[in-house]
């Protein structure tokens, strides 16, 4: 705590970054007491400049942020709360994060590449839960896990052929199909994408 650089108001900038997807959920302020409460409770606390008091994220909305780790930038004047956003909506406007608009006012419609796998699994889970008419994901899953695994095998062969043929476009297309089918299989088995990524992270030295 002694290494942190609070401004003349006793505040420090805090970026809330999602542990699972990597997306920036929100940016807020904290004072020393808010940081200490975050460390003590494991849940994100901030300081409201307009209300002049500490607040716990989600204390009224239920949109709690469980903090896995706090990171400090090189100058010591900005923090990252690495969080699990418990209900998947961080913005007070009901959006998943506060950065859903571009500078020209248009809406952000697709995730950044580093978010894609986890967001893909969210969509698959939603399809299987809500079962919209005409959904390929629902149709595939309804054929059973064995069929999904068989389909994964077929996509693997097609990816191998694309790699052998060395067509960049085909390699990208077939690999995307392969990853989608694998994600459906993982979802049916109750395995989260981040579990696989955590295992890869664990292997990195």
Q: Which fold has domain 113-203?
A: Helix Hairpins (1.10.287)
Res 1: pLDDT: 83
Contact 194, 118 (CB under 8 A): yes
List pLDDT tens digits, range 147-184. Answer: 999 999 999 999 999 999 989 999 999 999 999 999 99
State pLDDT tens for residues 39-97: 999 999 999 999 999 999 999 999 999 999 999 999 999 999 999 999 999 999 999 99
pLDDT band of 2, cuts 50, 70, 90: confident
The fold adopted by the segment(s) 1-109 is Ubiquitin-like (UB roll) (3.10.20)
Give residue limits of the domains in the chain.
1-109, 113-203
The mean pLDDT value for 105-114 works out to 95
Tokens of 189: 């088995």
Average pLDDT of the chain is 97
Is the pLDDT at 205 greater than 80, yes or no? Answer: no
User: CB–CB of 26/97 below 8 Å?
Assistant: yes
Per cent of the chain over pLDDT 90 is 97
């Amino acid at each position: 705590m002694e290494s942190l650089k609070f401004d003349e108001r006793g505040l420090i900038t805090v970026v809330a970054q999602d542990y699972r997807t990597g997306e920036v959920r929100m940016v807020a302020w904290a004072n020393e007491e808010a940081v200490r409460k975050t460390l003590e409770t494991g849940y994100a606390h901030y300081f409201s400049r307009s209300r002049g008091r500490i607040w716990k994220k989600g204390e009224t909305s239920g949109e709690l942020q469980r903090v896995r780790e706090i990171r400090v930038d090189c100058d010591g004047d900005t923090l990252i709360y690495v969080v699990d956003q418990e209900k998947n909506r961080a913005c007070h406007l009901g959006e998943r994060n506060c950065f859903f608009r571009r500078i020209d006012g248009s809406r952000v419609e697709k995730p950044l590449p580093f978010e894609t796998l986890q967001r893909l699994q969210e969509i698959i889970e939603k399809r299987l839960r809500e079962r919209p008419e005409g959904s390929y994901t629902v149709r595939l899953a309804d054929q059973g896990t064995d069929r999904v695994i068989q389909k994964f095998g077929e996509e693997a062969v097609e990816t191998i052929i694309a790699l052998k043929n060395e067509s960049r476009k085909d390699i990208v297309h077939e690999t995307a199909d392969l990853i989608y089918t694998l994600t459906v299989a993982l979802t049916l088995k109750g395995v989260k994408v981040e579990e696989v990524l955590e295992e890869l992270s664990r292997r990195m030295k």
